[in-house]
Each structure stands twice: as structure tokens, then as C-alpha cells.
Amino acid sequence: MIRTGIFGANPRSKRHIENLKQIPGFTIAGIYDPDPGIAGKASRDLDIPPFTSPGSLIQRSDAIVFELPVELHYEILIPILTSSKHLFINYPVCFSLEKLSHMSKLANEANIILQVGNHERFHPALQPVISTLKKPVFIEIVRNVGPDRHREGEVLFEEFLIRDIDMVFYLNKSNVQRVSAIGVPLRSDLTDLVNTRLEFDNGCVANITVNMYCGTDNLVCQVFQKSEWFRIDLGQNAVMRHILKDHKQPESLSEECLRDETILKTEALPTPPYDPLHELKVFRDSIVRLQAPPVGIDHAFYAAKITREILGKLLKNAQS
């Protein structure tokens, strides 16, 4: 059994605890929070032992699920890694590249699994596309953010951008050659919409839009390759595949052509149901097999590097 310590008592860690209890191979070692009162209440509500010091819970654990704000508690992460404990951590949005690089170095030296949480990377709607994708030439991601998820400042854009960039890297495994970005204030002087364009060494281009000026939450990705494209609706867990028939290449894709099945074939690809346990199951399997996780700290470093470059361009454009 993998004895798992929980750092942070909040709604997200509560969901992790409930999920861990359903996954064979995990047992909960306990919970720590800097606020003893919050940790005690979570302990009683969830029937798990409370710990008053991070060191004691680290000592009693084989793996840690870290849900404290990483930018405020970096000093706790270091002893977790130097104690050779496996670590599941949310995307460290606010970390400097130097800290991410240091964490990568410590994880490699300790030979531990460090998985970075990004549930969208494990979304079932991506799986039928990944299994069919050969050579993407254009990727478009549009994320509309409903008002219930709004927060002030650039951190929110950084959080969404870093996740969307990681998704692009999953779909197109190539290095970024060029980055461009614009930010648009729609309601006030604050930026409400960000659009960025990534050009890759293999010729693929990705266009990512994060729109805060929207009444509903949705996330749609379109992936184009020769003679076909996929429309992936992550909110609806639905994938449509559009195939242009080789012998009937039209001069333009008019509405009439799109309805002509001799030119364009459209089919819905089957997607497995969303499994809220899947990401933690992958963490368990990576530990058992000592196999690198699909989303590791090196992925986070590269996505963060590109995201910081985008934010730098937005800041420069705003000042000009």
C-alpha cells in the first residue's frame, strides 16, 4: 500500500481524499495544514489522522498529495523531495523557472515520481484523437471562462494558458520556434481576452484564446491534419471527425460542400466516460512501475517557460 499524506485542507484536497479512498493501492497516512483548526476539522470530517508538523507527516508517508498554495509553501516541498517521497502537485503556476528547475533536479536525484496535476491532459475526449493523429498542422484552442471562475490579475490567465499550452504539447510533440501574443481589454483597462500564436519546429501552428468576457464556461479544441480535422468539446466530452475525401477536394469549403457527403464525411468518435479517479490512478501506476508520469515537472517547466514569454509580450505591448 502507498501511504499517502495530504498537505492542505481545502475543497480540492477533500476531493483527492475521497478519490484516494476509492483507489486500490492507496491508504491515507494523514493530513497537515498550517492552520491546526482547519486540519482538525478536516480530520474529523474525513476520518483521517491530523498532523501538526509537515516533517512528521512526511516521515509517515510514501507519497504526498500537495494542495497548499505552492507559492507560499515552497519550503515544505524541498524536504518532501529530499526525503525521496513521491509527489503529486497542482500546476505550480506562480513558481519561478529557477524553482521549477531546482525541483526537477531534486526529483531526478531522488529517483521519485513527481506528477503535475492537469486533469485536462487526461480528458477522455483527447484519447481517440491522440490514437488517430499523425501530423497536425494547425491546432486551435478556445477557452471561455464563466464569471463564477473569475479572479483578479494575471495569475488566472497564466493558470489557463499553462494548461492549454501543455495540451498543445500533448497533441504536437515539437519545440516552439516563435511566440506572439495580444491582450484585449473589453470591459475596462484590465485584459479580458488573450490570444497567442505558437509556431513549432515541425511546421505546426497553434492558436490559443482565453476569453474572460463570456457568460459560460467551455473549452473547445480543433486539430487539423492533411484531409481531416477534429473538433474536441471537452465540456461535452464529444469528438467530431471531419474527413475530406481525396478524390473530391473542393476549391472552397462552402456550406453546400460541408453538407455534401461525397466531399466531406463527418463522424462522431466514441469517447470513454470521464473518470475523476484516472489522474490519481496514473500516479499510483507510475509509482508502482517507477515509470515517468505523463505530466512531470519537466513538462511544467517548458509550459511555464512559454507562458512567461507570452505574459512578457503582453506586458510589453500594454506599455507601448
Q: What is the pLDDT of residues 176-213, one digit of tens each?
A: 999 999 988 776 666 778 999 999 999 999 999 998 87
Would you report the helix, strand and coil content of the chain in percent, each value rounded to 5? Answer: 40, 25, 35
Q: What is the pLDDT, as a whole number, of residue 314? A: 84
- Residue 292 falls within a domain, yes or no? no
- Residue 27 falls within a domain, yes or no? yes
Q: What is the pLDDT, as a whole number, of residue 153? A: 46
pLDDT band at 260 (very low <50, low <70, confident <90, very high): low
Residues 68 and 134 grouped into a single domain: no
| Cα atoms found within 13 Å of the Cα of residue 4, Cβ hemisphere only | 27
Residue 233, all three cell numbers: 468539446
CATH for 27: 3.40.50.720
- End position of a domain, from candidates 51, 78, 112: 112
pTM here is: 0.87
**Alpha-helix runs per DSSP H in 53-153:** 54-59, 74-82, 97-110, 127-130
Q: What 3-state class would DSSP assign to 90?
A: strand
With vertex at residue 188, the alpha carbon angle to CA 96 and CA 191, rounded to the nearest 5 degrees, is 30
- Residue 285 falls within a domain, yes or no? no
**Cα distances (angstroms) measured from residue 11 to each of 46, 142, 145:** 12, 27, 20
Which residue segment(s) compose the domain that 65 sits in? 2-112
Q: How far is 271 from 294, CA to CA, in rounded Å?
A: 20
Give the tens place of pLDDT for each residue, 51-71: 999 999 999 999 999 998 877
Helix (H) or strand (E) holding 20: helix 11-20
The single-letter code of the amino acid at 32 is Y
Residues 100 and 21 grouped into a single domain: yes
Q: What is the pLDDT, as a whole number, of residue 138? A: 98
Task: Give the total number of structural domains in the chain.
Answer: 2
Residues 85 and 149 grouped into a single domain: no
pLDDT band at 154 (very low <50, low <70, confident <90, very high): very low
Q: What is the mean pLDDT of residues 289-297?
A: 92
Q: What is the mean pLDDT of residues 252-279?
A: 77
- Residue 300 falls within a domain, yes or no? no
Output 260 or 286, whichever has higher pLDDT: 286
Please, is 102 exposed, middle or buried when counting C-beta atoms within 10 Å of its C-beta (0-12, 13-18, 19+)? middle
- Residue 284 falls within a domain, yes or no? no
- End position of a domain, from candidates 112, 145, 166: 112
- Residue 301 falls within a domain, yes or no? no
pLDDT band at 216 (very low <50, low <70, confident <90, very high): confident
CATH for 258: 3.30.360.10
- Residue 290 falls within a domain, yes or no? no
Q: How far is 88 from 69, CA to CA, in rounded Å?
A: 13
Residues 257 and 188 grouped into a single domain: yes
Residues 104 and 139 grouped into a single domain: no
Residues 102 and 200 grouped into a single domain: no
Q: What is the pLDDT, as a whole number, of residue 246? A: 63
